[in-house]
Structures are given as structure tokens and as C-alpha cells.
Amino acid sequence: MEGMGLMEKCATGDELKEWLRDAHQRTLDSIGGLNDAQLDLPQIRELNPFHWMVGHVAWFNEYWVLRGVRGRPPLLARTDQLYDSIAIPWEIRWQLPVPGNAEVIRYLDGVLDEIVSGAGGRELSEPEIYFQRLSAFHEDMHSEANTYFRQNMALPQPAGTLDGGLSPEPGSGAELADDVEIPGTESFLLGAAPEEPFVFDNEKWAHPVQVPAFRISRTAVTQEAFQAFVDDGGYENEAHWSVWGKLWRTSVPERHPVYWRPAGGGWQRRHFDRWVTLEPSLPVSHVNWYEAEAYCNWAGRRLPSEAEWELAAAAEPDGAGGISGVKRRYPWGDEPPTPERTNLNGWYGGPVDVTALPGGDSAFGCRQMMGNLWEWVADPFYPYPGFELDPYKEFSSWCFGDRKVLRGGAWITPPRTMRNTWRNFFTPDRRDIFSGFRTCAR
């Protein structure tokens, strides 16, 4: 099918069944442990009601796999009128007469059962492999968005993301304080290669770009560093803010990150429903693109470009002062993510010290370029040259131009979702997401 890229022609459904079951459990965890009052929340801009989201995920999986590939009739009547995100504007979703929690979960369970029972142990066709993967990744995105919602509304942390007892040792802050110098190149291949089993349309395809030499921080900006900006009146000083940043800043009451509050001469941050003393060496989280830009202006720094970020994460030196032709799938290499390398999958229950997890360093010594927090980059979200729509036509194209790009994944992102070429995208005012940033020298 056009737009899929190269896929394995022969595969059993075993791995995909496990992915779909795991994504299903993440969805249940993302709304689990909440009472009816907590599930029935007031309208929040750009976020979806919990009940609607669960039904939408079930509809999406049914639409593409059961109806689209297998030719099955709809399991329930009127689901297109209730859960099609393309046809139903965001504000209308809060007003729809969607089923209650028990019924919508039965729908979600029923779709999963139909998909996995219909796959059996047989070899799957290329379209079925593609759309089952798409369904799992799409469901992962929505369960992550539900986690943002819980953080936004001061609800308890989802059970599936609670600290499992792992505690990474911090590294040496002194050795990571400086920038790392990245050689320039005339032809870095930005984007995904066709050999990838699955990529989204906005990652296609790898194309040569010129990247001059640059210096990038080894770690993300810490809460301690961002506190210095706040304490220095960074939010009040208009010199640090762009025109659009000033417009955003006048629309919000806080003069600090959204989940911070002053306490006893210092600061606290809210982690879901708990207030904790601000941890100096954790990365600053829940800051939007405008806040990141203003911090950079205050610090005499800048955000990395998207090409610089991917080069620092994925490239290898050639031993002669340049860039080799090797491109890594993950910052540390091609081996899959593990808790020793990265903070994904809720392994640590939240962000960790920016100096931790040296096993995940990139070839140039940049730490935590995957996991911990999504990282803002300077670029607006635009298509790569030769862009073509994938079967899920509405995934990227409607967002081109008014979003900014984020890279690297967050502590709650499933490992199966991530690779160095993955492009996330949000409007620059969004600070409910688990987002931070690292900086470059000017």
C-alpha cells in the first residue's frame, strides 16, 4: 500500500498482539483509579474527555484493522458520528452523548479481542502489519495525552507509570557542565531511512542537509538553571521575549513554570497530585517553546535546530574530525532501549537527574537525548522534501506551519515508539506536555 515504506513481508501476529495488549493496558491505566467526578472533568483546551478518548482509540483500531483491512462491519452503531477525530472538532467532543466508562471499555475490549483472535498464528499481510503497528502507536500517543491531562488536573499518577523501585545513580555534574563540539557536515541525512519497519509520513525520507559545526549542551536545562532565570525576573523582562512570546505571556497569570509555586524562600513543583521540593538537578519540565526561547535569550544561548539535534543524537565521528556515514537508531546505538540506557516506559516514575544513565550517551557524549523529557527544538514543523501522505492522511499535514518540533521522548513514552528520527509536534504555547529543552552556544 502506498506510503508504507518497506515492511517485513512475512511476520506472525505474536509481537503485534503483545504490542496491542500492552497499549490497551496503558489506556486502561491512563483512566484507572479515577472516580466518576474525576473522569467527568470541565472542558480543557486541546485535551480530550477521558470517555471520548477511550472510544476514539477503540474506533481507530476498528476502523483501520477490522473494517479497513479485514472488511468487517462496525461492532457498534454510530461510532463514526461519535469518535472520528477528523470529522468532529475538539470542542464538540466534550458535548457528545458518548457512552459511560463501563460501556466504552467494553467496546475497547471487544475491538482488541477481535483483532488478536483474528490474527492467530498466521503470517500477516503487509497492510495488516502496518495498520496494527499504527493502531498501537496511535493508542500510545493517546494514553500519554491522558497522562498529561492527569498532571494538568492534579489527579493521581497512573498506576502503570509509578516508580517500580528503580533508582539511577547520578553522574558527575562537573564533567557534564560544558558543551560538546559537533563537527559540521555538508550532507547529514536528516530523517528516516526506508529500511525502518515503520515510520510516520513526517519522517520521510532521509535527505542531505548542510549542518555547520556547533556546540550543544551535554544535558538538558535543569530546574536549578531555570530557577535562576525565574529569580532574576526573566518572566518580567521583555527583552528576553519574542513578540509572540510576549503575547502568550500576557495570557497567563504565572511568572514561573506552570506547576511551580514559591515555598519557604524556595520553590516546589507539583508532580500529579503531590507537591515536592524543587530538585536542582532534574530537568525543567512543562515549559513551552516560548519559555525555552526566553530562557535562551537570557542565558545568551539558543535552541538547537532539528538537524543539529538529530545529528548530535544519531551521528558518529569519523576519527578525522568529521562525521562518518553511520547513523544510529538510538543515541547509544542500535540496541533496544533498556532502563540502563534511558528513562522511558515509566521505568523510574518520573524525570531523573540530568546526569544519570551514562549508558545512553550519544557518540558525542550528549546525555538523555532519548527519554526523560521531550525536547523543544528551534524549527517549526514542516514536511521534508518530497512529502507524501500516508494512509492516515490527517496525522501530520494539517499541523504543518503552526507547530514546533520536539524530539527524544519522555519518561512515560513506550520504547517501541521511539527512534532518533521521531518527530513530535505541538503548538508553542503548550506546557501541559512533559517537555524540556537543551541549548546550543550562539
CATH number at residue 67: 1.20.120
**Grid cell in block for residue 379:** 524549527
pLDDT at 168: 87
Q: Cβ(371)–Cβ(413) under 8 Å?
A: yes
Q: Is residue 381 part of a domain?
A: yes
Q: Is residue 154 part of a domain?
A: yes
Q: Is residue 6 part of a domain?
A: no
CA distance 182 to 214: 5
**Among candidate residues 169, 155, 166, the one with its CA nearest the CA of residue 274:** 155
Q: Residue 88: which domain range?
A: 14-161
pLDDT at 7: 36
Q: Is residue 326 part of a domain?
A: yes
Tell me the pTM. Answer: 0.95
Q: Is residue 61 part of a domain?
A: yes
Reduced DSSP (H G I as helix, E B as strand, rest coil) percent helix, strand, coil of the chain, to 5: 35, 15, 50
Residues 96 and 79 in one domain: yes
**Residue after which a domain boundary falls, among 161, 192, 227:** 161
CA distance 7 to 137: 16
pLDDT at 381: 98
Residues 97 and 177 in one domain: no
Q: Is residue 5 part of a domain?
A: no
Residues 95 and 218 in one domain: no
Residues 255 and 392 in one domain: yes
> 288 — phi, psi (to 5°)?
-95, 180
Distance of CA 20 to the CA centre of its chain: 19
Indicate the number of domains in the chain.
2
pLDDT at 123: 82
Residues 129 and 172 in one domain: no
Concatenating the DSSP letter of every residue in 229-279 gives HHHTTTTT-GGGS-HHHHHHHTT-S-SS-TTEEEETTEEEEEETTEEEEPP
> 265 — phi, psi (to 5°)?
85, -5
Q: Is residue 8 part of a domain?
A: no
Residues 286 and 429 in one domain: yes
Residues 156 and 172 in one domain: no
CA distance 128 to 355: 42
CA distance 21 to 16: 8
CA distance 34 to 42: 15
For 265, other C-beta atoms within 10 Å of its C-beta total 5
Residues 231 and 92 in one domain: no
**Residue after which a domain boundary falls, among 161, 181, 215:** 161
pLDDT at 113: 96
Residues 250 and 276 in one domain: yes
Question: Number of helices and strands (H, E) in the chain?
Answer: 11, 15
Sequence-distant (6+) residues with CB within 8 A of 274 are none
**Grid cell in block for residue 182:** 559537533
Residues 97 and 222 in one domain: no
**Residue after which a domain boundary falls, among 144, 161, 178:** 161
Place of cell 514536511: 383
> 179 — phi, psi (to 5°)?
-75, 165
**How long, in residues, is the chain?**
442
Residues 244 and 275 in one domain: yes
Distance of CA 159 to the CA centre of its chain: 19
Residue 339: give its domain's CATH number. 3.90.1580.10
Residues 204 and 155 in one domain: no
Q: Is residue 7 part of a domain?
A: no
Low-confidence ranges of the chain (pLDDT < 50): 1-11
pLDDT at 5: 37
